[in-house]
Amino acid sequence: MSYPTLSPVKTLILISSDKMKKHAIIPIFIPHEGCPNDCVFCNQKKITARTHAEENINIEEIASRYLSTLKDPRPEVIEMAMYGGSFTGIPVEKQNEYLAVAKDYKDKGIIDKIHLSTRPDYINEEILSNLKAYDVDVIELGVQSFDDEVLMLSERGHDSSVVYKSCEMIKNFGFTLGIQLMVGLPGDTAEKSVFSAKETVKIAPQIARIYPTVIIEDTKLLDMYRQGSYSPLSLEEAVETSKKMYNILFDAGINIIRVGLKSSDIINENGEIYGNTFHPAFRQLVEGEIAKEKIEKQLKELCDAASTADISFISNSRSFSNMIGMKGVNKKYFKENYPRCSFSYDKNDALKDYEYKVQITRG
């Protein structure tokens, strides 16, 4: 599959779309049983071995628990999402057992979409025909990188040629395609990450995720880190590279549904996290940097660091926190770098998400 994410989360995940209509995800954690691989950054194999997590999971029970937390009005879209191991790598009988429950929920109108994640090399015509028969909507591939050296050093067990073939097949079958990319894997560079984002744009999936590589317990990556053969990115580097990738994907109209991990995504939630690439609000760090960049570009067209002016920065309410930056970091930046200007931060909900306006109000 993908990054070792999405443990059995305890709350229903509600995602707001750009029109503020609610989108609910019922996460079903399918453990490592489908994955004989051992990617260097993933701890699922060890965790599964220790916890016997391969035992049967009861989708109906999980779903009804999540559904009972839903309030009126019903979210516009409810997805049942099977994450965790490599879904299409588990025995087909087991896949079908899970899918039959999901399809039944979909046929009854309880959920609207079936969503799953898997590895690029666990896709073929037969697998896709089966998923089609169960009315699956979205297939996300844990691609991680389009660079063969990065894939090899991360022990992904396949090269990038498989990714192109699988993505094409998924699209030809009419599924919604998602691509997950990672930043800062062994052998990775900012240029390689940007290359991966550009290759993703060529493939044109509908959705994407960007995850910084995080070093967790029970992984080969932690051994490599301790031995000195792997150096993680700094948080700033991870944000900077993710920002470049984000801009490339966003400008291509790809819906970036996730940037960064949450602590509940990490399978061994209580285990230690090493290095500095984990940040619980990683997406806001990235989007705040992008906001700063967009604002400064406009600002420089209106004045320079020596100018004296009253200036208003404007965004809609949803993008306001990005405009301010994490803990007001953007406010501080502009105050320090344009000391003779005074700035106000204003809202205008007529603006689109991630649109920022700069206006001189006096100067």
Could you list the residues that contact ligand SF4 (CB under 6 A)?
1-2, 4, 32, 35, 37-39, 42, 44, 85-86, 119, 142
Closest to ligand SF4 by CB, 35 or 210: 35
Polymer length in residues for the chain = 363
Least distance to ligand SF4, CB of residue 29, Å: 11
H and E: helices and strands count for the chain: 12, 13
Closest to ligand SF4 by CB, 89 or 288: 89
* Both tokens assigned to 247: 């801009």
Q: Omega into 27 within 30° of 0, i.e. cis?
A: no
Closest to ligand SF4 by CB, 121 or 289: 121
Alpha-carbon separation of residue 348 from 73, 101, 121, 316, 334 (angstroms):
27, 45, 46, 5, 20
Strand order in the sheet with 357-362: 341-347, 309-315, 357-362
Closest to ligand SF4 by CB, 78 or 139: 139
Strand order in the sheet with 22-30: 13-16, 22-30, 77-84, 113-118, 138-144, 176-183, 207-212, 255-259
Least distance to ligand SF4, CB of residue 157, Å: 8
Least distance to ligand SF4, CB of residue 186, Å: 14
Closest to ligand SF4 by CB, 140 or 199: 140
Closest to ligand SF4 by CB, 32 or 262: 32
Least distance to ligand SF4, CB of residue 348, Å: 43
Least distance to ligand SF4, CB of residue 198, Å: 23
Least distance to ligand SF4, CB of residue 305, Å: 46
CB 181, CB 145: distance < 8 Å: yes
User: Distance between CA 139 and CA 88 in Å, rounded?
Assistant: 10
- Sign of the C-alpha dihedral computed for residues 204, 209, 215 and 220 taken in this order: negative
Least distance to ligand SF4, CB of residue 240, Å: 24
Closest to ligand SF4 by CB, 157 or 320: 157
User: Distance between CA 355 and CA 342 in Å, rounded?
Assistant: 21
Least distance to ligand SF4, CB of residue 38, Å: 5
Class of residue 122 by CB neighbours under 10 A (exposed 0-12, middle 13-18, buried 19+) = buried
User: Distance between CA 278 and CA 20 in Å, rounded?
Assistant: 28
CB 208, CB 179: distance < 8 Å: yes
Closest to ligand SF4 by CB, 44 or 315: 44
Closest to ligand SF4 by CB, 88 or 241: 88
Least distance to ligand SF4, CB of residue 334, Å: 41
Query: Which residues lie below 8 Å from residue 82, measured CB to CB, with a gap of 6+?
Result: 28, 30, 98, 102, 114, 115, 116, 117
Query: Which residues lie below 8 Å from residue 141, measured CB to CB, with a gap of 6+?
Result: 2, 117, 118, 119, 120, 123, 163, 166, 167, 170, 177, 178, 179, 180
